[in-house]
Amino acid sequence: MAILMDGKALAAETRKDISRRVAELDYQPSLAVIIVGNNPASRFYVNNKKKDCAECGIKSIEYALSEDTKESELLELIARLNADDELDGILVQLPLPKGIDEKAVIAAISPQKDVDAFHAENVGHIMLGDAALLPCTPAGVMRLLERYGIDPAGKECVVIGRSNIVGKPQAMLLLHRNATVTICHSRTRDLPEVTRRADIIVCAVGKVDFLRADMVRRGAVVIDVGMNTRADGSLTGDVDFAAVEPIASYITPAPGGVGPMTRVMLLENTLTAAKMRRKS
């Protein structure tokens, strides 16, 4: 039976540590959260982020814009927030409504306030291995590995998924920890053959029960980044948990594994951005 990697417990512990560090400052870090439209999932995530900020003593300021907001109006708001010297972080909740170019919006955010670490400048630092701000989900995965004493150095790591938000940066963070990394995707030939070589598998494809038992070698570490909804409305990840858990050595539950770590790493980034800007 695998050891469950409890992201919920680690996130709670990390929030307490962030709260302690924030209390030691002579200023209050601040985060602007922009939500455009009425996407229920986006509203759920934004509400949770505001709750997390309040728990840790970080000031959160919400900008809720209507569905028919023009791209130019959103870019004007970001420009004002970039120029606000009292503001440390800017987060634009994705996805955005049709008609708004996400790439243009991400590019408009000051790299120093880009707490999602999506800006091209921050992506470049991730590639170089000297980034101060890291994308929240990959950073959360790395924190989980550290907590459970799993060193990627010298190990075969397979990342399933090549998104700019998770797959690509996850591969880079593992590479910087001296792992041998393979990125798999929809064009990968004989995916099970590749995944069965892995010591560590990170699955981030957004498909229910995508990673099956026959794709995992006994003793592998399995990280489930996915969050999907079954027909009955229950939440689940990308991994067939019931089948894979008896085979793996460590495994993240979904929900309760990577998700809470993603949220808490946003707080880490906000605190880091504040300290860098204010040189404290």
Question: What integer best gives the mean pLDDT of the chain?
Answer: 97
Helical spans, DSSP H, in 200-257: 241-244
Residue finishing a domain among 76, 111, 146: 111
CATH of residue 151's domain is 3.40.50.720
Q: Is 67 among the domain residues?
A: yes
Q: Is 230 among the domain residues?
A: yes
Which residue in 130, 131, 128 sits closest to 118, CA to CA? 131
In this prediction, residue 156 has a pLDDT band, given cuts at 50, 70 and 90, of very high
Q: What is the pTM of this model?
A: 0.96
The answer to whether residues 231 and 162 belong to one domain is: yes
Annotated active-site residue in 116, 199, 224, 238: 116
Phi-psi region of 172 (alpha: psi -120 to 50; beta: other; left: phi over 0): alpha
pLDDT of residue 279: 86
- Rounded to whole angstroms, the Cα distance separating 122 from 100 reads 22
pLDDT tens-digit series, residues 66-116: 999 999 999 999 999 999 999 999 999 999 999 999 999 999 999 999 999
Phi-psi region of 178 (alpha: psi -120 to 50; beta: other; left: phi over 0): left
Annotated active-site residue in 6, 88, 93, 224: 93
The answer to whether residues 167 and 97 belong to one domain is: no
Query: How many helices and strands in the chain, by DSSP H and E?
Result: 10, 11
Q: Is 91 among the domain residues?
A: yes
- Rounded to whole angstroms, the Cα distance separating 109 from 136 reads 17
The answer to whether residues 227 and 180 belong to one domain is: yes
pLDDT tens-digit series, residues 53-65: 999 999 999 999 9
Q: Is 41 among the domain residues?
A: yes
Would you say how long the chain is, in residues? 280
- Rounded to whole angstroms, the Cα distance separating 88 from 117 reads 13
Residue finishing a domain among 58, 77, 111: 111
The answer to whether residues 140 and 57 belong to one domain is: no
Q: How far apart are the first and last CA of the chain?
A: 45
Q: Is 196 among the domain residues?
A: yes
Coil/strand/helix, residue 234: coil
The answer to whether residues 142 and 244 belong to one domain is: yes
Q: Is 19 among the domain residues?
A: no
Contacts (Cβ under 8 Å, ≥6 apart) of 38: 67
Look up residue 106 and give its two tokens: 């991400």
Q: Is 40 among the domain residues?
A: yes
Specify the DSSP class assigned to residue 28. Answer: -
The answer to whether residues 178 and 243 belong to one domain is: yes
Residue finishing a domain among 77, 111, 145: 111
The question of whether 26 is a catalytic residue gets the answer no
The phi and psi torsions of 240 (rounded to 5 degrees) equal -75, 85
Contacts (Cβ under 8 Å, ≥6 apart) of 128: none
CATH of residue 83's domain is 3.40.50.10860
Q: Is the pLDDT of residue 172 over 90?
A: yes
pLDDT of residue 61: 98
In order, the DSSP letters of 176-211 are: HTT-EEEEE-TT-SSHHHHHTT-SEEEE-S--TT-B
What is the number of structural domains in the chain?
2
The question of whether 116 is a catalytic residue gets the answer yes
The answer to whether residues 159 and 94 belong to one domain is: no
CB neighbour class for 50 (10 Å; exposed up to 12, middle 13-18, buried from 19): middle
The answer to whether residues 144 and 251 belong to one domain is: yes
Q: Is 234 among the domain residues?
A: yes
- Rounded to whole angstroms, the Cα distance separating 140 from 258 reads 7
The answer to whether residues 84 and 161 belong to one domain is: no
The answer to whether residues 153 and 218 belong to one domain is: yes
The answer to whether residues 31 and 93 belong to one domain is: yes
The question of whether 170 is a catalytic residue gets the answer no
The answer to whether residues 96 and 210 belong to one domain is: no
**Which residues constitute the domain of residue 191?**
136-258
For β-strands 235-236 and 228-229, DSSP reports them as: antiparallel
Annotated active-site residue in 49, 113, 155, 168: 49
For β-strands 59-65 and 228-229, DSSP reports them as: unpaired
pLDDT tens-digit series, residues 193-251: 999 999 999 999 999 999 999 999 999 999 999 999 998 989 999 999 999 999 999 99
80 and 53 Cβ atoms separated by less than 8 Å: no
